Structure 1
Amino acid sequence: MNSLVRGLEVLKAFGRYHEPMTISEVATETGLTPASARRMLLTLTDLGYVELRGKRFRVGPKVLDLGYSYMSSMPIWQIVQPTVERISEKFSVSSSASVLDGCDIVYAVRANNRQASSVLVSTGTRQPAHVTSMGRVLLAFTEPERRETILSQIHFSAYTSHSVMDIDQLRLILEQVRGQNFSIVDEEMEFGLRAIAVPIRNKRGEVVAAINAAGSNRALDLDYLKNTVLPAMFEAANMIKANLPA
């Protein structure tokens, strides 16, 4: 089991580093000894999950099998993908759905609109939950004990001058999100970017994901978001819920 954990940590390190890595770089990124990192990299290379080019290792295409297994085993994403595409096209926004993983959101499906945002993300991209609209929805509807554990682990960084920087302020924001059933985040992750998100619930009413619409705050004024985009997103979330298996 320890070897499995170390192997997964090595694969995750490539996602954080974004470039081919040497053994020493992998060891530094994961906290492994160089010898342990070497053994793990060679094993992953034999399995096809990592490729060796010269003295540097990079993730191999077989890693996609892991992501495909998740996507294909979860019928929700087959329903959500065309939904985000319709939202993106109808409102000229980028639209996504994500899940919560620790202090981050992980994008599960995405419909990019290059004119709506300069932040180009894809399936598997991670962003800090506390400064994103989807993250706040997911945090707001997380069980209180787990939510407090996550909040205590957040590293509050000033992504912009508008980023929330205080845990008590974030708690108040999440309470408001729970009450209104949606979240709007304005220029906290990127200047000029405004986003709105609503929860996706299963048949039992449990929040299993969040869906958003994001774009320029010049194009998406608050009245337009609340009066035009938000009703369509609630309708989309209800449609997804209705089509999920029991």
Structure 2
Amino acid sequence: MNDNGTRYSAPALEKGLDIIELLTDHPEGLSLAELAKELGRTTAEIFRMVVTLETRGYLLAIGDRYVLSLLLFQLAHRHQPVRSLVSAALPLMTQLAKQAGQSFHLCVYQKGRVLIAAGVESPERWGFSLKVGTLIGLTDTASGQVLLAFQEEPQRVEMLELHIPVDGELEVNPPQLAKDLAQIRKHGNARMPSRQVKGVKNLAYPVFGRDGHAIATLTTPYIERIDNAEVPSMAEVGDMMKDAAQTLTALMGFNVYWDSATQPSR
């Protein structure tokens, strides 16, 4: 046993993982000296590891700073469950974008945060969307709250314990969050003004896995038109999204979707 209570240790691997995990919180990058300081190590201790990670394509050197490349993101999307979900969702999202004139995202939970796994931009002249691969808040976004709402209590507690706030994420108010999640379970979706950007209303529907728990959300940052253009209302877009989320749920192997009479087991 080592000091952490595990049977075996791999110091070099641990150093590499520490570097990668640290850089996920610093998109602007860190210098070798800054990496060493943050990790509580000397530059000599981590120099070889940084060079190796750069050589293997996990890090990019920009001037004297190191940033994460997109290699980890590419590897994640070669993972079969994520790849299958994204492949199934993209045609539906593309059709939704054409019908609704809005942008759409497919979001999944990732260790205390929410990841934009796929996205389709609005075909209109303007729109609002987030980059694929972006990490967003778990507790202050419609997507995060839907992912939390449709879980069993032990899983929800674990997700909140692992919660890592993103930059700018609002502080969690547990009683209010509990009320929000209860309303989401009642209505089967989340509709809320964006807590990050003025003028955007977020609408999110769950995609259920075979166990009846939310494995993803189909989300739109809805932008209301105030000119004479004839576009679907938010309620109409919600109906479209529910149908698409129901189709995705069926493709994931779960043949029951939320409605007022029958709700997936949680």
TM superposition score normalised by structure 1: 0.81
Three-state SS of the structure 1 residue aligned to 2:131 is coil
Q: Does structure 1 retain, via aligned residues, the 8 Å contact 2:97–2:104?
A: yes
Is the Cα contact below 8 Å between 1:137 and 1:199 reproduced in 2?
A: yes
* Cα deviation, residue 197, structure 1: 0.5
CA distance in 1, matches of 2:167, 2:24: 22
Partner of 1:232: 240
Whether 1:181 aligns to 2:188 is yes
Q: Please name the residue that 2:136 is paired with.
A: 127
Provide the identity percentage.
22
Q: Aligned to 2:196, what secondary structure does the other structure show?
A: coil
Rounded Cα–Cα distance in structure 2 between residues aligned with 1:115 and 1:31: 46
User: Of the candidates 103, 112, 115, which is equivalent to residue 126 of structure 2?
Assistant: 115
Match in the other structure for 1:36: 45
Within the candidate set 9, 13, 18, 1:4 is matched to 13
CA drift at 1:48: 2.9
Deviation larger for 167-176 or 25-34: 25-34
Query: CA-to-partner distance for each residue in 1:208-227, whole Å, 9 max, x for gaps?
Result: 111111122566xxx9323x
Q: Please state which structure has a larger fraction of its residues in helix.
A: 1
Q: Which moved more, 1:85-94 or 1:18-27?
A: 18-27
CA–CA distance in 2 between the matches of 1:86 and 1:8?
Answer: 39
Q: In the alignment, which residue of structure 2 is the partner of 1:241?
A: 249
Q: CA offset at residue 25 of structure 1?
A: 2.4
Matches within 5 A, 1:1-246: 1-30=10-39, 32-52=41-61, 54-60=63-69, 62-63=71-72, 65-70=74-79, 74-113=83-122, 115-117=126-128, 120-151=129-160, 165-217=172-224, 224-226=233-235, 228-244=236-252
Structure 2, unmatched stretches of 5+, are: 1-9, 227-231, 255-266
Q: In 2, are the aligned partners of 1:137 and 1:210 still within 8 Å (CA)?
A: yes
The unaligned stretches of length 5 or more in structure 1 are none
How many residues matched?
238
Amino acid at match of 1:189: Q
Q: CA deviation at 1:149?
A: 4.0
Larger Rg: 2
CA RMSD of aligned residues (A): 3.1
Contact 2:203 2:222 in 1 (8 A): no
- Describe the shift of the 1:145–1:61 C-alpha distance in structure 2 as closer, same or farther (beyond 3 A): closer
Is contact 1:156–1:165 with CA below 8 Å preserved after alignment? no
Give yes or no for contact 1:108–1:124 (8 Å, CA) kept in 2. yes
CA distance in 1, matches of 2:252, 2:81: 14
Aligned residue identity for 2:249: K
Alpha-carbon distance in 1 for matches of 2:221, 2:48: 43
Provide closer, same or farther for how the CA distance between residues 83 and 42 of structure 1 changes in structure 2, counting only shifts above 3 A: same
Q: Deviations over 1:34-78 (max 9, x none)?
A: 343323212212323224455333334644542342368631110
